[in-house]
Amino acid sequence: MGIVNRRNAMLGWAVWQVGKRVAEQKAKAAAPPARKRRRLSKAVFIAGAAAIGGALLFWRKQSSDDELPPV
């Protein structure tokens, strides 16, 4: 009987799957709470507000150019 057979392969696969789950749970428990999402959302909000403000400023400047006094 060889070392590499179907039974040992299935047992090894099952141990590997369980080991991955345990390692993932331990890593999640050890990691600090996810704060980056809040900072990222705040950064995205600020960037979006700045982009909208810039677009409105540009649009206002463009529309005021149409009302130049005659020369």
Please name which of 71, 12, 42, 25 lies closest in space to residue 50, comparing C-alpha atoms. 42
Residue pLDDT, tens place only, 19-68: 999 999 999 999 887 665 555 678 888 999 999 998 888 877 666 555 65
Confidence (pLDDT) at 11:
95
Does position 71 have pLDDT exceeding 90, yes or no? no
Q: What is the pLDDT of residues 4-16, one digit of tens each?
A: 899 999 999 999 9
CB atoms within 10 A of CB 36: 10
Query: What is the pTM (predicted TM-score) of this model?
Result: 0.42
Domain ranges of the chain: 1-31, 34-71
